[in-house]
Structure 1
């Protein structure tokens, strides 16, 4: 079934429908207050649905430092030349003007759960009745020996889209003839399981056109990865001989880098490379630690409403949440946001709350019009978000099917960004 923009938004709206109910005044102040930290697929969606469906009964504040938000999903297509950077950049004016959301471009630097306040870098303090955290990912210190964020200009991660995406693309385009692009892939769990391998595909697409004798080296600590058979089939078909992957059996789990020398050490063997994309191990955005709800890396949540297991008035969405079977993806964050928004609205206004249902699809582009996908539906159980059923593209599919899959992804992107930013 083709998932176009109208169908995507309509499905989301149906899932978030509520029965009209007057707002319940919070203790000691006027309208109930919701603060959302993080303006991506989880946070922006949650803020919009709470404001829209409460019809002004809830005071919603969205805290996001970036005035223009670049989606990590579809940023690989920018690297491959299939979209422009401005096409994946989005602003928050509609959320403020149309939905009455107080959009604050600042960093949240602390959370006091006892006082129910959020401190901002600019010195302001926000009070909340419900707090929604959707801060995305940060990197685990020391995950790749020799690399930290101070080295991200020499060896970009490009796993937070925007300037890092521009930098990595410029480095790829400046590679010497016959040079080597290396990727240090992350261990599980991490944002967008197929993402590193779609990126390899997009880099190969560019190099095939501009630098056909170049080589791509993937150093991977995982024994297997998402859509592996589909990617490997596509790499052989489109980029035969260009891509080599070194898994843990051959030292892919014993890697260090030297950004100054531009070398990668693989199990004691040093490789000189020209461009190195280091994607380290990941953890929840640091505000989750500041709020005291993380377990060290991620935030355990209750599946029914995405509330933290440490505090029922703090909800955590998307990449930062340890929720069960859903992958860390933009689609998943958007789906969780609608469940959370309905639950928060119900708690604050006594509106109807329906049983939590979730869905996810991850599309990947291997080459021009060669799109593949994987996805599933989920439900909330007492223990976790549990997978109900799933689907995946098949190897050997015809060109028309693959083209339709890619076009479906383009329609989904238009739909989800409209759903996020209004």
Structure 2
């Protein structure tokens, strides 16, 4: 039966029950699940909980934006292949077709003792299970000279929408022969191939409109995802345009000056025309406020994405410290389905299936030159562990690369339909 709140708050012994998951008592009203964050993890878990429980679970989704722009595929908007509106999605079907209570507000507080979420507008939402899928935030001071107050001068564009549009406008207004600089992030971060697909798309745009321009990458990592594929593609499609400076040559010792529009690499200052700063990342703020993070990310149990600090809280997607899966939209969507099945089983006695996960990340290097990497995963007591994987090969035929790109378009239509409950 439900724990009496006064008894819960008044006894030390009951406090220890915070770590034990709720077991829903039949006949006590509909169990309540609150989901914070409406991206690939949050929207998916809200839809599957509402759909598969057939109304047996009261699902509330708290998301501040009425129009959600996917970060995945936003690089194609930079390259001119897509319009921004191609990335935009609404929550109408989740509410009208599946009965999700969609609340457009900021979640600003979580009280795990009383199991409530508060929002910026002063509303309080009680929960029996809480799902946090807040994405990423940036670590203050990660790049000396830059913080979020400088994001209009040196955009990060790692949260899609206005930042994407701003960065594209800055690149389009570069002088002839100008320099675009990117400060790449350290591991781990959202979408491991993302910065390098972005470089490809910017190089494509510059090759068409400003072919003497240069691209400079300051990178703190020795290696990066799909490195051989990107570097071969850059040499073939954009010869002489792109220079990457890794940690051996100062790529991890970078400072920026947004007012002066300069970047300093290992003490050597250079004037640039556009600078894309992608700082080090951590779990979204609400996960830290909820007290479920450790070292920047929120550690979870692999079998159901429940927090290792509170079994009644589940963390999905980029914010989760889960093991081997990359931080990607595909990963978040895959994790959401596992979490939804586990939560539904706990709250309604529905069957729970063994956790299985998968991920694929596509990247576009040049027109119809797509590459991919992916893997399957399983739950272990320690983490989500990689089982096997695949990656595109160098020197593939143009037909195969074009087919990979078309495959990525089909996946985008499929995953957004799966997230938002609309026809693909």
**Same-fold call, TM cutoff 0.5:** yes
User: Residue deviations 1:161-191, cap 9 Å, x none?
Assistant: 0000000000000000000000000000000
Other-structure match for 2:55: 56
Other-structure match for 2:194: 195
Other-structure match for 1:331: 330
**Counterpart contact for 2:129–2:343, Cα < 8 Å:** yes
Tell me how far apart the structure 2 counterparts of residues 292 and 163 of structure 1 sit (CA, whole Å): 30
Correspondence 1:67-78 to 2 at 5 A: 67-78=66-77
Other-structure match for 2:267: 268
Other-structure match for 2:107: 108
Other-structure match for 2:294: 295
Tell me how far apart the structure 1 counterparts of residues 250 and 239 of structure 2 sit (CA, whole Å): 23
Per the TM alignment, residue 292 of structure 1 is displaced from its structure 2 partner at its CA by 0.4
SS in structure 1 at match of 2:312: strand
Tell me how far apart the structure 1 counterparts of residues 186 and 321 of structure 2 sit (CA, whole Å): 16
Tell me how far apart the structure 2 counterparts of residues 407 and 50 of structure 1 sit (CA, whole Å): 31
Tell me how far apart the structure 2 counterparts of residues 401 and 102 of structure 1 sit (CA, whole Å): 43
Other-structure match for 1:158: 157
**Counterpart contact for 1:25–1:31, Cα < 8 Å:** no
Other-structure match for 2:87: 88
SS in structure 1 at match of 2:311: strand
**Counterpart contact for 2:24–2:346, Cα < 8 Å:** no
**Counterpart contact for 1:41–1:333, Cα < 8 Å:** yes
**Counterpart contact for 1:75–1:165, Cα < 8 Å:** yes
Other-structure match for 2:130: 131
Cα RMSD for the two superposed structures: 0.9
1:246 aligns with 2:242: no
Other-structure match for 2:408: 409
**Counterpart contact for 2:155–2:275, Cα < 8 Å:** yes
**Counterpart contact for 1:26–1:129, Cα < 8 Å:** no
**Higher RCO, 1 or 2 (CA under 8 Å, sep at least 6)?**
1
Per the TM alignment, residue 30 of structure 1 is displaced from its structure 2 partner at its CA by 1.8
Tell me how far apart the structure 1 counterparts of residues 79 and 368 of structure 2 sit (CA, whole Å): 12
User: Residue deviations 1:122-157, cap 9 Å, x none?
Assistant: 000000000000000000000000000000000000
Per the TM alignment, residue 296 of structure 1 is displaced from its structure 2 partner at its CA by 3.1
Question: So what's the TM-score if we normalise by structure 1?
Answer: 0.94
**Counterpart contact for 1:177–1:211, Cα < 8 Å:** yes
Tell me how far apart the structure 2 counterparts of residues 52 and 271 of structure 1 sit (CA, whole Å): 55
Q: Which moved more, 1:363-372 or 1:25-34?
A: 25-34
Correspondence 1:306-321 to 2 at 5 A: 306-321=305-320
Per the TM alignment, residue 319 of structure 1 is displaced from its structure 2 partner at its CA by 0.2
User: Residue deviations 1:276-298, cap 9 Å, x none?
Assistant: 00000000000001100000300
Other-structure match for 1:385: 384
User: Residue deviations 1:17-60, cap 9 Å, x none?
Assistant: xxxxxxx9659952000000000000000000000000000000
Correspondence 1:205-224 to 2 at 5 A: 205-224=204-223
Other-structure match for 1:232: 231
Tell me how far apart the structure 1 counterparts of residues 34 and 26 of structure 2 sit (CA, whole Å): 16
Other-structure match for 2:420: 421
1:173 aligns with 2:164: no
Other-structure match for 1:146: 145
**Counterpart contact for 1:180–1:214, Cα < 8 Å:** yes
Other-structure match for 2:398: 399
**Counterpart contact for 1:332–1:358, Cα < 8 Å:** yes
Tell me how far apart the structure 2 counterparts of residues 66 and 29 of structure 1 sit (CA, whole Å): 33
Per the TM alignment, residue 416 of structure 1 is displaced from its structure 2 partner at its CA by 0.1
**Counterpart contact for 1:51–1:58, Cα < 8 Å:** yes
Deviation above 4 Å: which 4+ runs of structure 1?
24-29
Tell me how far apart the structure 1 counterparts of residues 120 and 203 of structure 2 sit (CA, whole Å): 41
1:256 aligns with 2:225: no
